[in-house]
């Protein structure tokens, strides 16, 4: 946006110089002004192309945010779970909450149903999920449900996003599912590739479901440097 604003200012400035030179007269000033204006349009074309290349499609951005949230929450939840191993052994370390953004723009969770330990470190990745995935925008709604569970051998991460209609949910599920193979092949991170490979995306009624199931031993080894 800043580049385009600066382009507009440069264009108007150049045009003013051109008109001023026209009043003085002479062929050389006309050639100079024409060259400057032509170069201006070339620059604008280059900036437009650069913008297109730099900006990811919405679907890719959302799935990258999802994979990042899985990584972040896995690291935090396993660290906490290690302090209460008896809960993990009993299969009771889990997290289940609905989230929304109210009319004031504040992120909030309601109806906590899990038995795990809540951490403030979860807030940032969860807010990012709400900011990047399409969902109902009603300020009274809680369109995101997040469930994850740390088990002795496995880690499960589930999200559901409420949409305006079943048709919208189905369309998003089809779009995101089609992107997973491409994102997996393009990722340099072994952990991120594993997450995409282990993720399923479906829709039912007006809900978009994204579920990832992973072996803890795989992610523990892959994300060990990040946990330090």
Q: Are residues 70 and 49 in the same domain?
A: no
Please identify, among 11, 37, 54, the residue that sits at the C-terminal boundary of a domain: 54
pLDDT at 87: 83
pLDDT at 145: 95
pLDDT at 187: 77
Q: Are residues 14 and 31 in the same domain?
A: yes
Residue segments in the chain with a per-residue pLDDT below the cut of 50: 1-55
User: For residue 158, what are the domain limits?
Assistant: 58-227
Predicted TM-score (pTM) of this structure: 0.72
pLDDT at 89: 84
Q: Are residues 138 and 82 in the same domain?
A: yes
In the chain, how many domains are there?
A: 2
DSSP character string of the chain: -HHHHHHHHHHHHHHHHHHHHHHH--HHHHHHHHHHHHHHHHHHHHHHHHHHHHSPPHHHHHHHHHHHHHHHHHHHHHHHHTT-HHHHHTT--EEEEEEEE-TT--EEEE-----S---GGGHHHHHHHHHHS-----TT---EEEEEEE-SSEEEEEEEEE-SSHHHHHHHHHHHHHHHHHHHHH---HHHHHHHHTEEEEEETTEEEEEEEEEHHHHHHHTHHHH-
pLDDT at 56: 54
């Amino acid at each position: 946006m800043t580049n385009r604003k600066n382009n507009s200012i440069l264009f108007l400035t150049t045009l003013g110089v051109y008109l001023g030179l026209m009043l003085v007269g002479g062929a050389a000033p006309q050639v100079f002004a024409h060259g400057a204006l032509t170069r201006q349009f070339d620059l604008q074309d280059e900036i437009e192309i650069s913008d297109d290349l730099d900006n990811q499609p919405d679907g890719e951005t959302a799935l990258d945010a999802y994979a990042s949230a899985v990584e972040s929450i896995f690291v935090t939840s396993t660290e906490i779970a290690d302090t209460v191993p008896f809960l993990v052994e009993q299969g009771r370390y889990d997290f289940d909450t609905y989230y929304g953004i109210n009319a004031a723009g504040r992120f909030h969770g309601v109806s906590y149903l899990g038995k795990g330990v809540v951490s403030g470190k979860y807030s940032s990745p969860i807010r990012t999920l709400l900011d990047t995935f399409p969902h109902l925008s009603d300020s009274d709604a809680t369109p995101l449900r997040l469930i994850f569970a740390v088990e002795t051998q496995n880690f499960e991460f589930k999200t559901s996003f409420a949409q305006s209609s079943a048709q919208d949910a189905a369309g998003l599920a089809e779009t995101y599912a089609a992107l997973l193979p491409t994102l997996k092949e393009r990722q340099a991170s072994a952990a991120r590739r594993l997450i995409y490979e282990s993720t399923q995306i479906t829709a039912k009624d007006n809900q978009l479901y994204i579920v990832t199931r992973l072996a803890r031993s795989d992610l523990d080894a892959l994300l060990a440097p990040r946990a330090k």
